[in-house]
Protein backbone atom coordinates (compact mmCIF):
# COMPACT_ATOMS: atom_id res chain seq x y z
CA UNK A 1 0.00 0.00 0.00
CA UNK A 2 2.91 2.18 0.64
CA UNK A 3 4.08 1.46 -2.82
CA UNK A 4 0.70 2.35 -4.23
CA UNK A 5 0.89 5.65 -2.41
CA UNK A 6 4.31 6.33 -3.72
CA UNK A 7 3.01 5.95 -7.28
CA UNK A 8 -0.30 7.62 -6.71
CA UNK A 9 1.13 10.98 -5.80
CA UNK A 10 3.40 11.28 -8.87
CA UNK A 11 0.64 9.98 -11.19
CA UNK A 12 -1.89 12.37 -9.69
CA UNK A 13 0.63 15.18 -10.01
CA UNK A 14 1.28 14.21 -13.64
CA UNK A 15 -2.45 14.06 -14.45
CA UNK A 16 -3.01 17.38 -12.70
CA UNK A 17 -0.07 18.90 -14.58
CA UNK A 18 -1.37 17.63 -17.91
CA UNK A 19 -4.83 18.94 -17.13
CA UNK A 20 -3.47 22.34 -16.09
CA UNK A 21 -1.22 22.39 -19.18
CA UNK A 22 -4.15 21.58 -21.44
CA UNK A 23 -6.31 24.29 -19.80
CA UNK A 24 -3.48 26.84 -20.14
CA UNK A 25 -2.95 25.85 -23.79
CA UNK A 26 -6.65 26.21 -24.54
CA UNK A 27 -6.81 29.52 -22.69
CA UNK A 28 -3.73 30.89 -24.45
CA UNK A 29 -4.77 29.69 -27.92
CA UNK A 30 -4.95 32.56 -30.52
CA UNK A 31 -8.66 32.96 -31.41
CA UNK A 32 -7.78 34.65 -34.71
CA UNK A 33 -6.25 31.43 -35.98
CA UNK A 34 -9.53 29.53 -35.89
CA UNK A 35 -11.64 28.76 -38.96
CA UNK A 36 -14.67 30.34 -37.30
CA UNK A 37 -12.77 33.59 -36.73
CA UNK A 38 -11.59 33.67 -40.35
CA UNK A 39 -15.15 33.04 -41.59
CA UNK A 40 -16.49 35.89 -39.44
CA UNK A 41 -13.66 38.12 -40.63
CA UNK A 42 -14.49 37.39 -44.31
CA UNK A 43 -18.18 38.19 -43.70
CA UNK A 44 -17.18 41.45 -41.96
CA UNK A 45 -14.91 42.44 -44.87
CA UNK A 46 -17.72 41.65 -47.33
CA UNK A 47 -20.11 43.78 -45.28
CA UNK A 48 -17.58 46.66 -45.25
CA UNK A 49 -17.14 46.38 -49.02
CA UNK A 50 -20.92 46.46 -49.53
CA UNK A 51 -21.17 49.44 -47.17
CA UNK A 52 -18.49 51.22 -49.22
CA UNK A 53 -20.35 50.47 -52.45
CA UNK A 54 -23.57 51.71 -50.86
CA UNK A 55 -21.86 54.95 -49.75
CA UNK A 56 -20.39 55.48 -53.23
CA UNK A 57 -23.84 54.92 -54.74
CA UNK A 58 -25.31 57.44 -52.30
CA UNK A 59 -22.58 59.93 -53.23
CA UNK A 60 -23.30 59.44 -56.94
CA UNK A 61 -27.02 59.83 -56.29
CA UNK A 62 -26.43 63.02 -54.28
CA UNK A 63 -24.20 64.42 -57.04
CA UNK A 64 -26.79 63.59 -59.69
CA UNK A 65 -29.56 65.09 -57.56
CA UNK A 66 -27.49 68.26 -57.24
CA UNK A 67 -26.82 68.29 -60.99
CA UNK A 68 -30.52 67.76 -61.64
CA UNK A 69 -31.51 70.60 -59.32
CA UNK A 70 -29.01 72.86 -61.08
CA UNK A 71 -30.33 71.88 -64.51
CA UNK A 72 -33.92 72.38 -63.34
CA UNK A 73 -33.00 75.89 -62.15
CA UNK A 74 -31.36 76.62 -65.53
CA UNK A 75 -34.42 75.31 -67.38
CA UNK A 76 -36.76 77.36 -65.18
CA UNK A 77 -34.69 80.47 -65.90
CA UNK A 78 -34.75 79.73 -69.64
CA UNK A 79 -38.49 79.07 -69.53
CA UNK A 80 -38.99 82.38 -67.77
CA UNK A 81 -36.88 84.15 -70.40
CA UNK A 82 -38.78 82.41 -73.22
CA UNK A 83 -42.12 83.32 -71.63
CA UNK A 84 -41.02 86.94 -71.30
CA UNK A 85 -39.92 86.95 -74.95
CA UNK A 86 -43.19 85.35 -76.05
CA UNK A 87 -45.10 88.01 -74.12
CA UNK A 88 -42.96 90.73 -75.68
CA UNK A 89 -43.59 89.28 -79.14
CA UNK A 90 -47.32 88.94 -78.44
CA UNK A 91 -47.48 92.59 -77.37
CA UNK A 92 -45.42 93.66 -80.38
CA UNK A 93 -47.21 91.51 -82.99
CA UNK A 94 -50.28 92.63 -84.90
CA UNK A 95 -52.37 89.88 -86.44
CA UNK A 96 -55.52 90.13 -88.51
CA UNK A 97 -58.11 92.54 -87.03
CA UNK A 98 -58.52 96.15 -85.98
CA UNK A 99 -56.25 97.41 -83.21
CA UNK A 100 -56.10 100.67 -81.25
CA UNK A 101 -52.53 101.97 -80.95
CA UNK A 102 -51.55 102.67 -77.35
CA UNK A 103 -54.30 100.35 -76.06
CA UNK A 104 -54.07 97.08 -78.01
CA UNK A 105 -50.62 97.54 -79.55
CA UNK A 106 -47.61 99.70 -78.82
CA UNK A 107 -46.74 102.70 -81.01
CA UNK A 108 -43.78 102.14 -83.32
CA UNK A 109 -42.70 100.81 -86.69
CA UNK A 110 -44.01 97.39 -87.75
CA UNK A 111 -43.09 95.12 -90.66
CA UNK A 112 -44.66 91.85 -91.77
CA UNK A 113 -42.79 88.78 -90.51
CA UNK A 114 -43.32 87.01 -93.85
CA UNK A 115 -43.63 88.26 -97.41
CA UNK A 116 -47.15 88.85 -98.64
CA UNK A 117 -48.13 85.81 -100.71
CA UNK A 118 -51.64 86.88 -101.72
CA UNK A 119 -53.31 90.25 -101.93
CA UNK A 120 -53.99 91.84 -98.52
CA UNK A 121 -55.03 95.22 -97.09
CA UNK A 122 -53.83 97.36 -94.24
CA UNK A 123 -55.16 100.73 -93.10
CA UNK A 124 -54.32 103.38 -90.52
CA UNK A 125 -57.27 105.47 -89.28
CA UNK A 126 -57.75 108.23 -86.78
CA UNK A 127 -59.12 106.56 -83.61
CA UNK A 128 -62.82 106.96 -82.95
CA UNK A 129 -63.80 107.50 -86.62
CA UNK A 130 -64.80 103.89 -87.31
CA UNK A 131 -62.41 103.82 -90.27
CA UNK A 132 -63.87 106.85 -92.01
CA UNK A 133 -60.77 109.06 -91.50
CA UNK A 134 -58.04 107.17 -93.36
CA UNK A 135 -54.51 108.41 -92.63
CA UNK A 136 -52.77 105.74 -94.76
CA UNK A 137 -53.64 102.43 -96.40
CA UNK A 138 -52.51 99.99 -99.05
CA UNK A 139 -53.62 96.92 -101.01
CA UNK A 140 -50.44 94.87 -100.99
CA UNK A 141 -49.61 92.16 -103.53
CA UNK A 142 -46.11 91.17 -102.37
CA UNK A 143 -43.06 92.14 -100.36
CA UNK A 144 -42.76 93.08 -96.70
CA UNK A 145 -45.04 96.06 -95.99
CA UNK A 146 -43.91 98.42 -93.21
CA UNK A 147 -46.11 100.83 -91.23
CA UNK A 148 -45.43 103.39 -88.50
CA UNK A 149 -48.15 103.70 -85.87
CA UNK A 150 -48.76 106.43 -83.30
CA UNK A 151 -51.12 106.78 -80.36
CA UNK A 152 -54.54 108.03 -81.40
CA UNK A 153 -54.67 105.74 -84.42
CA UNK A 154 -56.43 102.51 -85.23
CA UNK A 155 -54.69 99.92 -87.39
CA UNK A 156 -56.48 97.36 -89.52
CA UNK A 157 -54.82 94.22 -90.87
CA UNK A 158 -57.00 92.39 -93.34
CA UNK A 159 -55.30 89.21 -94.60
CA UNK A 160 -51.68 90.33 -94.34
CA UNK A 161 -49.08 88.28 -92.44
CA UNK A 162 -48.46 89.35 -88.84
CA UNK A 163 -46.86 92.78 -88.46
CA UNK A 164 -43.96 92.65 -85.97
CA UNK A 165 -42.56 95.66 -84.16
CA UNK A 166 -39.10 96.58 -85.37
Longest dimension (CA), the chain: 155
Is there a domain that residue 46 lies in?
yes
- Whether 22 is in a domain gets the answer no
Contact 154/132 with Cβ under 8 angstroms? Answer: no
Residue-wise pLDDT tens digits, 24-47: 777 777 778 888 888 889 998 988
All residues at 6 or more sequence positions from 106 whose CB lies less than 8 Å from its CB, including other chains: 91, 92, 165
Q: Read off the pLDDT of each residue in 136-157 and give the average, rounded to a whole number.
A: 97
The full DSSP string for 9-53 is HHHHHHHHHHHHHHHHHHHHS-GGGSHHHHHHHHHHHHHHHHHHH
Q: Across the chain, what does the average pLDDT equal?
A: 90
119 and 64 share one domain: no
Domain count, the chain: 2
Rounded to an integer, the average pLDDT of 2-26 is 78
- 79 and 107 co-located in one domain: no
**Is the residue at 98 inside a domain?**
yes
DSSP letter at 59? Answer: H
Output DSSP code: residue 81: H
pLDDT in tens, 104-117: 999 999 999 999 99
Is residue 13 a part of any domain in this protein? Answer: no
Tell me: do 158 and 104 sit in the same domain: yes
- In this structure, the answer to whether residues 52 and 84 fall within a common structural domain is yes
Task: Tell me the residue range of the domain where 57 lies.
Answer: 30-91
Examine the domain organization and report whether 102 and 161 are in the same domain: yes
The model's pTM is 0.53
**Residue that finishes a domain, picked among 91, 113, 143:** 91
Question: Is residue 47 one of the residues assigned to a domain?
Answer: yes
Same domain, 133 and 121: yes
Q: Quick check: is 109 in a domain? A: yes
Instruction: Map residue 72 onto helix, strand or coil.
Output: helix
Whether the per-residue pLDDT at 2 is higher than 70: the answer is no
Q: Which of 59, 74, 91 is the last residue of a domain?
A: 91
Amino acid sequence: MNRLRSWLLPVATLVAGLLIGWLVAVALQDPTASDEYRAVQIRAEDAEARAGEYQRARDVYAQRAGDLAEREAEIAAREQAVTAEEQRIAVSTIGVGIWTVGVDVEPGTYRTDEPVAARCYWGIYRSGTNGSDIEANDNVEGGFPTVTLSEGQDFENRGCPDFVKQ
